[in-house]
Amino acid sequence: MSTQDELKKQTGYRAVDDYVRSGMVVGLGTGSTAYYAVERLGEKLKSGELTDIVAIPTSIRTKEQAESLGIPLVTLDTHSKLDVAIDGADNVDPGFNLVKGGGGALLREKMVELAADTFIVIVDESKLCDGLGPGFPIPVEITPFCHEHTIRVISDLPSCAGCKPVLRMGSSSNNKCDGDEIAVTDNGNYIVDLHFTGNIKNVPKMAADLKRVCGVVDHGIFSGMTSAVICAGNEGVTVTTPQKKDKIIFNVVVASAVATSIALIATAISRRR
Ligand SMILES: O=C[C@H](O)[C@H](O)[C@H](O)COP(=O)(O)O
């Protein structure tokens, strides 16, 4: 197993160990990192450490893996609310915005993960970035009908200015666009990968603009959804939550406000003397 796979395994196992309890409805992500969370869940069900679990897979690949491990599966049609969903990501920025869909599963992932009370993102440290855009192209799932027109409409959006749209070829589960055939998602759609050379200036605006294009089914920007990021690196595994980060920022702001006030009072006192 490569070092990167070892890190992926650490995050996948940690997510199941920390966040999955007996009796839960669990969303199963897609990709080489989520693979290990599914593996761990199967292992714990088999050993009896976890019982009474049902899971919702986010792709045909994950469904097949879960079935092979004997994990009981349901769908959003019968279970509209999940306790927890665990999935990888292609990029994570400091504001917990994600790029997903490198494996072509973004639509089912977003549907399932939006329905979860807690959404745990599992990544190795190579996925962390300063800003979305240059690190990984933004996948957009579009209908096959007149897809060239839809791609033109997307590239004409002011919020997508400067992006290079590339229709995904070959397998939907890589963003390399190799192969002679257009890649088709589990939902029968195409994917266009938007390549940016610099950081996207206004991620929420771009996400909203993309969503409004008729012909776009959904996009791979997942904002405001993350409950925690479990990240494995050479230094170990860290768990970061938006609340924890806000608290740190708040503490820094309060500390600097207190320091400024003390300095002002000290200056005022020394002037009086
Ligand atoms: O469509 C695929 C998903 O969004 C994956 O979660 C994402 O591409 C990360 O996959 P991996 O863990 O294989 O890097």
What does the pLDDT look like over 20-39, one tens digit per residue?
999 999 999 999 999 999 99
pLDDT of residue 245: 57
* Cβ atoms within 10 Å of 133's Cβ, excluding its own: 24
Query: How many Å lie between the centroid of ligand 1 and the Cα of residue 29?
Result: 8
Looking at the fold, whether 18 and 109 belong to one and the same domain comes out as yes
In a domain? residue 133: no
The single residue of 39, 109, 141, 148 carrying the catalytic annotation is: 109
Residue 230 sits in which domain range? 3-128+223-241
Looking at the fold, whether 59 and 71 belong to one and the same domain comes out as yes
Report residue 249's pLDDT band, with 50, 70 and 90 as the boundaries.
very low
Query: How many Å lie between the centroid of ligand 1 and the Cα of residue 173?
Result: 9
- For a mutational test of ligand 1's pocket, the pick from 5, 28, 30, 98, i.e. the residue with the most ligand atoms closer than 8 A to its C-beta, is 30
Query: How many Å lie between the centroid of ligand 1 and the Cα of residue 221?
Result: 12
Percent of the chain with pLDDT over 70: 86
Looking at the fold, whether 100 and 212 belong to one and the same domain comes out as no
Only one residue has tokens 């769908």, namely: 75
CA-nearest residue for atom 7, ligand 1, is: 89
- For a mutational test of ligand 1's pocket, the pick from 7, 62, 90, 128, i.e. the residue with the most ligand atoms closer than 8 A to its C-beta, is 90
CA-nearest residue for atom 10, ligand 1, is: 31
Query: How many Å lie between the centroid of ligand 1 and the Cα of residue 266?
Result: 54
Report residue 179's pLDDT band, with 50, 70 and 90 as the boundaries.
confident
**Residue 229's beta-bridge partner residues?**
121, 240
Query: How many Å lie between the centroid of ligand 1 and the Cα of residue 174?
Result: 9
Looking at the fold, whether 180 and 266 belong to one and the same domain comes out as no
Q: Which atom of ligand 1 is nearest to the CA of 102?
A: 8
In a domain? residue 212: yes
pLDDT of residue 255: 56
Phi, psi (deg, nearest 5) at residue 25 = -100, 120
Looking at the fold, whether 72 and 148 belong to one and the same domain comes out as no
Global ipTM: 0.98
Tokens at 79, concatenated? 């279970």
In a domain? residue 252: yes
The model carries a pTM of: 0.88
Percent of the chain with pLDDT over 90: 84
Report residue 174's pLDDT band, with 50, 70 and 90 as the boundaries.
low
Quote the CA–CA distance of 183 and 105 in Å, as a whole number: 12
Quote the CA–CA distance of 28 and 87 in Å, as a whole number: 7
Quote the CA–CA distance of 229 and 243 in Å, as a whole number: 12
Total domain count, the chain: 3
Looking at the fold, whether 36 and 154 belong to one and the same domain comes out as no
Looking at the fold, whether 95 and 196 belong to one and the same domain comes out as no
Ligand 1 site, CB within 6 A:
29-34, 87-90, 100-106, 109
pLDDT of residue 10: 97
* Residue 147 belongs to domain with CATH number: 3.30.70.260
Q: Which residues contact 2 (CB under 8 A, 6 or more apart)?
A: none
Looking at the fold, whether 234 and 122 belong to one and the same domain comes out as yes
* Residue 33 belongs to domain with CATH number: 3.40.50.1360
Q: Which residues contact 64 (CB under 8 A, 6 or more apart)?
A: none
pLDDT of residue 268: 66
Looking at the fold, whether 100 and 58 belong to one and the same domain comes out as yes
Active site residue 49: no
* Cβ atoms within 10 Å of 200's Cβ, excluding its own: 24
Residue 155 reports pLDDT greater than 70: yes
pLDDT tens per residue across span 100-122: 999 999 999 999 999 999 999 99
pLDDT of residue 260: 59
Looking at the fold, whether 234 and 119 belong to one and the same domain comes out as yes
Q: Which atom of ligand 1 is nearest to the CA of 8?
A: 12
Report residue 175's pLDDT band, with 50, 70 and 90 as the boundaries.
low
Average pLDDT over residues 195-200: 96
